Amino acid sequence: MPDQVTFREAMTAVLRETLAANEEAFLLGEDVGIYGGAFGVSRGLVEEFGPERVLDTPLSEAGFTGLAIGAAVMGMRPILEIQFSDFITHCMDQLVNQAAKLRYMFGGAASVPLVLRTPGGAGTGAAAQHSQSLEAWFVHVPGLRVVMPSTPADAQGLFRAAMADPNPVLFYEHKLLYNTKGVLPDEPEVYEIGRARCTREGRDVTLAAAGLMHNYALEAADTLAEQHIDAEVINLLSLAPMDSERVCESVRKTGRLVVVEEDVRTGGWGGELITRVAESPAFYALDRAPARVACADTPIPYNKRLEASIRPSPERIVEAVTQVLANDPGRYA
Amino acid sequence: MAIRKKSSASASEATIAALPAERQRALLEQMQLIRAFDEKVDKLYAKGAMHGTAHFCVGQEACAVGTLCHRQEGDVITGTHRGHGHAIAFGLDLYRMAAELLGRATGYCGGKGGSMHIADVEAGMLGANGIVGGSMGIACGAAFAFKQRAQDHVAICFFGDGAVQEGIFNETLNLASIWQLPVLFVCENNQYAMSLPSEKATAGGSIAGRAASYGMPAEAVDGMDLDAVFTTAARLLAGCRNNGPALIETATYRYLGHSKSDANRYRTREEIAQWRANDPIERYSRTLTERDVLDDARSAALAESAVEQVEQAFARAERDPEPELASALEDVYA
Ligand SMILES: Cc1ncc(C[n+]2csc(CCOP(=O)(O)OP(=O)(O)O)c2C)c(N)n1
Ligand SMILES: [Mg+2]
């Protein structure tokens, strides 16, 4: 059995590899130095690469995001960490009006090769201002790429792809993933941003998800298998661009679609994915109405049971699939 | 360092020594309650008995107590993520705070907010805040309402040395100054924003100095010295009321980690020990003893009673029910 590594270890390793390989790469963010980052991802890096390459910033998210954009325009390779993805609200102008726009607005004369890493998601009891999944906002902004790894291998593959990309990439890490384990391939696998992967083949229903929710979908698929329901799981990996084509291909086989996302249902990226399927010829392959499993349209409550009650879970995915299959074929309520 | 642009409102300074003995002891008791509360919560986290996270203000008690004891009826406050001390010094109920931390329906937020969001809006406690600097605008808004309505209340706005580096610090200090809003900005400079030393993050070195450049009275004070905080806050608050903003920078220290867990890799044991040697509670106890307001027996009894009150608050809260699941969907309107 090959060695397992945690998602956190995989991230630290790929950051180390990147900093070692590219003199122009640098890491900046709050407490990324001696503290090692709020979630311990950059532990040991300042000791290895020094405080000129691993920079502890003051609490100035807008300012240092702007600085990263400027350095990127100059051809450097900033990797910035926003300590909790909720605080990305402070960076909105810089990301939306600056990073996303420069290349296009300047007629292709600039590029902004930066990677913004940020831990998102709920399930930790951190309440309404430290638990959100706001990635759909950026899916709505042309000019930003948004990726979301699920496993240690994905984390490394997607991170390398993000670093190789000449455009701004938002790299969402779910807090509950850091301690999860997986195996790394012997030879680094090439990931392409915007290319989904089928992680489990099945005939009865397509589960499309990303990040931690993809792992929930796999768990749900195991439970469904015990009930003789054969689920296919598509790991989107990237939300922008979104590989809806791969989902359509799967739907043409299964005829059913359940999308799983942790952001709130209304205005989430799941609605976009289902719309794209509905707009494509795969629509005719559907024999049940598609469904979404998403967070309830509320802020995240503190109490553990309340929090669990509004979040997607493997159980809720199983429920949704059961419901979808219980609908009469071709007759939508 | 003291930077003052305006002369103080009253000629004679307010001092703790001039208060009745009972009041002097009550201030000690408040600091002890805050400490007992945070030490209890710290223990609960260490035992794994608590959900989420919390930030402790052990060591910083004099800042909240020395400013908020001047609060008058109608004044409001905004707190921070490190907010239990603000809430207790404001006068919130230990039991309902404990209930909130335990996620109970009887907590201040019905179990939906937790440590970082304790609030009692009706009473004028406009909330702790999980976003650094997040409450600075809210405090200005409350002060704006007082001014528009010609009320002589003040908004007291707590924030850390870290918040000073956020854009909103500039925007709100400027707004408060150009519109002459009655806000007392209270910067608890506990020397660190998580792991970043304040001296490495603060260009120009002085937070009070920065505030003075917005044209408001601003003073730096020893935040481990309750007497000093009391007197300075009294003076600045008097200047704020019916008038414009002011800022007090309290030099203080958090003894415990940044949040429930912290390896303290960014500071030395010696440094922590040095600050602890200047403990605000011990220091104030000594002062009261010298003033013959306190003796050892009384001091021990107060400390014991603080621990007892906190224990009772948690014991009672623990027996309370958790919120109904349906409450997750309450107060949602869009
Ligand atoms: C906008 C924002 N950025 C980052 C954080 C994460 N964070 C919480 S507290 C903190 C340090 C704040 O330092 P300071 O303002 O000095 O307050 P202290 O914790 O020292 O009381 C950080 C980085 C946050 N909550 N909000
Ligand atoms: Mg601080």
**Mean pLDDT throughout B275-303?**
96
CA distance A172 to A257: 24
**Mean pLDDT over all residues of chain B?**
95
Confidence at residue A154, expressed as pLDDT on a 0 to 100 scale: 98
User: Which of A303, A304, A307, A310 to probe by mutation at the B interface, max B CB count within 10 Å?
Assistant: A303
Contact A81 CB / ligand 1 (< 6 Å): no
Contact A30 CB / ligand 1 (< 6 Å): yes
Q: In percent, how much of chain B has pLDDT > 70?
A: 97
Confidence at residue A330, expressed as pLDDT on a 0 to 100 scale: 67
Question: Is A4 within 8 Å of chain B by CB?
Answer: no
Contact B161 CB / ligand 1 (< 6 Å): yes
Write the CA distances from B66 to A56, B63, B230, integer angstroms.
33, 5, 4
User: What are the pLDDT digits (tens) for A69-120?
Assistant: 999 999 999 999 999 999 999 999 999 999 999 999 999 999 999 999 999 9
Length of chain B: 334
**Mean pLDDT over all residues of chain A?**
97
**HEC assignment per residue over chain B:** CEECCCCCCCCCCCCHHHCCHHHHHHHHHHHHHHHHHHHHHHHHHHCCCCCCCCCCCCCCHHHHHHHHCCCCCCCEEECCCCCHHHHHHHCCCHHHHHHHHCCCCCCCCCCCCCHHHCCEHHHCECCCCCCCCCCHHHHHHHHHHHHHCCCCCCEEEEEECCHHHCHHHHHHHHHHHHCCCCEEEEEEECCEECCEEHHHHCCCCCHHHHHHCCCCCEEEEECCCHHHHHHHHHHHHHHHCCCCCEEEEEECCCCCCCCCCCCCCCCCHHHHHHHHCCCHHHHHHHHHHHCCCCCHHHHHHHHHHHHHHHHHHHHHHHCCCCCCHHHHHCCCCC
Contact A87 CB / ligand 1 (< 6 Å): yes
In B, which residues are within 8 Å of A310 by CB distance? Answer: 328-329
Contact B59 CB / ligand 1 (< 6 Å): no
Confidence at residue A331, expressed as pLDDT on a 0 to 100 scale: 53
CA distance B55 to B131: 13
Confidence at residue A332, expressed as pLDDT on a 0 to 100 scale: 47
User: What are the pLDDT digits (tens) for A241-254?
Assistant: 999 999 999 999 99
pLDDT band of B260, cuts 50, 70, 90: confident
Ligand 1 centre to CA of B189 (Å) is 12
pTM score of the predicted model: 0.96
User: Which of B171, B187, B196 to probe by mutation at the A interface, max A CB count within 10 Å?
Assistant: B196
Confidence at residue B5, expressed as pLDDT on a 0 to 100 scale: 42
pLDDT exceeds 70 at position B3: no
**Mean pLDDT throughout A227-232?**
98
- Closest by CA to B33, choosing from B298, B311, B236, B267, is B311
From A33-42, A225-234, B43-52, the region with the lowest mean pLDDT = B43-52
Atom 21 of ligand 1, residue of closest alpha carbon: B160
In A, which residues are within 8 Å of B109 by CB distance? Answer: 302
Range A102-133 burial, b when 16+ CB lie within 10 A, else e: bbeeeeeebbbbbbbbbbbbbbbbbbbbbbbb
Task: List phi, psi (to 5°) of B192.
Answer: -140, 145
**Mean pLDDT throughout A186-195?**
95
User: Which of A306, A309, A316 to probe by mutation at the B interface, max B CB count within 10 Å?
Assistant: A306
Q: Which residues neighbour ligand 2 (ion) by CB within 5 Å?
A: B 160-161, 190, 193
A199 SS3 class = strand
A256 SS3 class = coil
Task: List phi, psi (to 5°) of A279.
Answer: -80, -10
Q: Which of A56, A129, A301 has the CB atom closest to B112's CB atom?
A: A301
The number of beta carbons lying within 10 Å of the beta carbon of residue B229 is 26
- Closest by CA to B192, choosing from A247, A135, A56, is A56
Type of residue found at B265: R
pLDDT exceeds 90 at position A3: no
A61 in catalytic set: yes
**Mean pLDDT throughout A197-224?**
98
pLDDT exceeds 90 at position B9: no
In sequence order, the β-bridge partners of residue A4 are A183
The Cα diameter of chain B in Å comes to 59
Q: In percent, how much of chain B has pLDDT > 90?
A: 94
CA distance B196 to B202: 10
Q: In percent, how much of chain A has pLDDT > 90?
A: 97
User: Cis peptide before A152, with omega less than 30 degrees from 0?
Assistant: no
**Mean pLDDT throughout B50-61?**
95
Residue B232 Ramachandran class (φ > 0 left, ψ -120 to 50 alpha, else beta): alpha
Q: Are B245 and B180 in contact (CB under 8 A)?
A: yes
Nearest residue of chain A to residue B129 (CA atoms): A129
A332 SS3 class = coil
Confidence at residue A271, expressed as pLDDT on a 0 to 100 scale: 98
pLDDT band of B7, cuts 50, 70, 90: very low
**Mean pLDDT throughout B79-87?**
98
CA distance A87 to A106: 28
Q: Which of A33, A36, A303 has the CB atom closest to B323's CB atom?
A: A303
**Mean pLDDT throughout B267-296?**
97
- Closest by CA to A297, choosing from A321, A333, A272, A262, is A262
Atom 20 of ligand 1, residue of closest alpha carbon: B193
A140 in catalytic set: no
Confidence at residue B203, expressed as pLDDT on a 0 to 100 scale: 97
Confidence at residue B28, expressed as pLDDT on a 0 to 100 scale: 98
Residue A76 C-beta-side C-alpha neighbours within 13 Å: 17
Residue A106 Ramachandran class (φ > 0 left, ψ -120 to 50 alpha, else beta): alpha
Q: Which of B117, B193, B266 has the CB atom closest to A59's CB atom?
A: B193
pLDDT band of B8, cuts 50, 70, 90: very low
In B, which residues are within 8 Å of A90 by CB distance? Answer: 166-167
Confidence at residue A329, expressed as pLDDT on a 0 to 100 scale: 77
**Mean pLDDT throughout B302-315?**
98
